[in-house]
Amino acid sequence: MLTKQRGFTLVELLVVIAIIGVLIALLLPAVQQAREAVRRMSCSNQLKQIGIAVHNYHDTYNMMPAGHNPSARGAWAVHIFPFMELDNAYDVYVQVQPWYRPENRPFRDLEFEDSWACPSARSGAVHWNDTYAEGFRGTYVGNGGIGTYHRDHENGLTAIGPFRVGHWMAFRDVTDGLTNTALVSEIKRPLATAGKDSRGTLIADSGANLFTANYTPNSLVEDFTEHCQSEPGICPCSSNGSKGPHQLTVRSWHPGGVELLRADGSVGFTPETVSLEIWQALATVQGGEVLEAN
């Protein structure tokens, strides 16, 4: 005798689909958080490698690279390349010529996404190269201090940071202590469609690779750089020419704050709720502030 097999009714099927939808909705935020945790860890590791490179540079030359070198028209990042296993790229850079010269166009064609861009940052807007363009743009910038700086001098600063304009600083000059001094942090890059925006360049002296601690992390106050395309609510800015004054505020895509490399080589997360007083104390090298251990 044949028996009739009972299948799912439409209502039962809809209930199962609804349950699956609820489970996915519950799991998706956890998956996204796990992915962001991995990206943030990778970002932290990249900053640690930059910190090691700066220390090895200092061990070799008894000083850190200058933030901007007005005589050579260059910036700090490219000079630590040999200490980041980027020797071949460093050899392409013609140091006897300013960064914008045709001789340095081959270097400006290179990309360094794996070492100079946080994985949490949105893709795109990494490269821009024409006759006077700054080439690859990453997301890591050095600490220039507090105030504003210019292409060839730092008269607008009220307090200096470890990466100076036209000056080379040694660790012994950081009297606040390396643990209490910010070295490198993050910025947000503009959209790929933004065109000429110099923020994050590795070689140019156009106000695009030194941050100033005028405002706390993720502040939406405008940056001032040579070339920029403003994105209000994300990374606002105003263009003010090659000579400045310049200022950049640290920002990131990490929820609630930014990764910060300190001068002792340690990396930690700094919340956007940090007080301006503490943030500016971290930005100085000779301010004499007393900071708690955390």
User: What are the tens digits of pLDDT across the range 103-143?
Assistant: 988 888 888 888 898 988 876 555 555 555 778 888 999 99
Nearest C-alpha neighbor of 173 from the set 80, 76, 63, 56: 63
This prediction's pTM: 0.85
Q: What is the pLDDT of residues 197-229, one digit of tens each?
A: 888 888 887 778 899 999 999 999 999 988 888
Q: Which amino acid is at 3?
A: T
CA-to-CA separations, 273 to 205, 220, 278, in angstroms, rounded: 30, 14, 11
Residue for token pair 């045709």? 102
Which band of pLDDT confidence, cut at 50, 70 and 90, is reported for residue 272?
Answer: very high
Rounded CA gap, 155 and 126, in Å? 31
Average pLDDT over residues 81-97: 91
For 264, the token pair is 């002792």
Residue 138 · residue 30 · CB < 8 Å = no
β partners of residue 225? 239
- Output the six-digit token pair for 260: 């910060």
